[in-house]
Amino acid sequence: MNIIPDSKWINSLYERERKKIEKRIQDSVKDKNPESLYLPASYILESGGKRLRPLLVLLSAKAVGGNFKQAYNAAVAVELLHNFTLVHDDIMDNADKRRNRLTLHKMYDTSTAILVGDGLLSVAYEYLLRDCNGNTKAVLSAFTKGLLEVCNGQSIDKEFETAKNVSILEYFDMIKKKTASLLETCCKIGALLGGGGKNQVKALSSFGKNLGIAFQIQDDLLDIIGDEKELGKKIGGDLVEGKKTYLFVKAMEKANEKERKFLFNLVKNKGINKKQIPAFKKIYSKLGVLEEARKDIEKYSVKALSSMKIFNDEDKKIYKWLTDSLISRNR
């Protein structure tokens, strides 16, 4: 019989593993040559973060009856892949700041940032291969599929920038690829490396995917209701940048003619003036899209956790804690 763990126990497990992962992430680029590549790579990896993706890898290996040790390198690999996307996306978005620090291409230059992204992805594959034993093809295929989906998702997101109209279906298709597929990948490769059976791999993949959808909608919501200091970036940044977020797409669908005309300024001017943020917020509130976002976050979290019924109580409790802390997060 498993003892069902309490939040304190899970929290200390998380902190302990986060520290281990953190060290391994830093070590993956430490003291390597050429310095012109690996020092900037350290800069981006030092900026911290929740390390959610590595954690999903480790927990998935454990849930299927394996252990953390089987997946530490893979845990590093998914975080490197994630940072590869951040570095390249920040160039494309012309973003100045990330996590309260200058983005890599602002700190260095665009060439360095392109190359650091490429280098991180290479090291990611190198690390992933270290944990593969007998299941290399399945693990590498899952990882590569995730990578390809992220690239496809990012392209669709770039298409949104110039699109006059984005439907909520198109929005969901985009976030499934750009965000959810990587979380799905993390769970899948963790399960594979832990020696999981077909149903376990499938269940965890489904968990990761649905958690990813909830996670991205939460991200969009935080741009409006979040706290600047906690978030490490300006509130309403998505509006200023003209991003077609969950809130914006939903609002456009529900707005009356007058409201739609006002909201359309975001499309027409490729982003709004920050003075207009309160007016957008007000329309969002009035149309109930903040509430709808909360409901969809809840819906996809429940869906995620419903995949987990085949696992034992300890693991279910851990996944519940993880899901709750993500959807109630403020950064």
Applying CB under 8 A, which residues contact a second copy? 33-34, 36-37, 88, 91-92, 110-112, 114-115, 117-119, 121-123, 125-126, 129, 132, 136-137, 140-141, 144-145, 147-148, 151-152, 154-156, 158-159
d(CA 100, CA 315): 34
Q: Which is nearer to a second copy, 181 or 206 (CB)?
A: 181
- What is the phi/psi pair of residue 50, to 5°? -75, -20
Provide, rounded to whole angstroms, the least separation between the CB of residue 181 and a second copy.
Answer: 12
CB of 215 to a second copy, least distance (A): 22
Between 40 and 237, CB nearer to a second copy: 40
Instruction: Let me know: does 193 contact 162? Beta carbons within 8 Å.
Output: no
Task: Please report which residue ranges of the chain form alpha helices under DSSP H.
Answer: 7-27, 35-45, 52-63, 72-92, 104-107, 110-130, 136-162, 168-175, 181-193, 198-225, 228-231, 237-240, 246-254, 257-263, 265-268, 277-287, 289-306, 313-327
DSSP string, 114-177: HHHHHHHHHHHHHHHHHT-SS-HHHHHHHHHHHHHHHHHHHHHHHHHHH-S---HHHHHHHHII
Q: How far is the CB of 161 from a second copy (least distance, A)?
A: 9
Q: Which is nearer to a second copy, 155 or 199 (CB)?
A: 155
Angle (CA) 119 120 124, round 5° = 115
CB of 146 or CB of 236, closer to a second copy: 146
In this complex, which beta carbon is closest to a second copy, that of residue 59 or of residue 142? 142
CB of 180 to a second copy, least distance (A): 17
CB of 182 to a second copy, least distance (A): 13
- In whole angstroms, the minimum distance from the beta carbon of 237 to a second copy comes to 18
The residue written with tokens 């599929």 in the block is 145
Nearer to a second copy, 8 or 164 (CB): 164
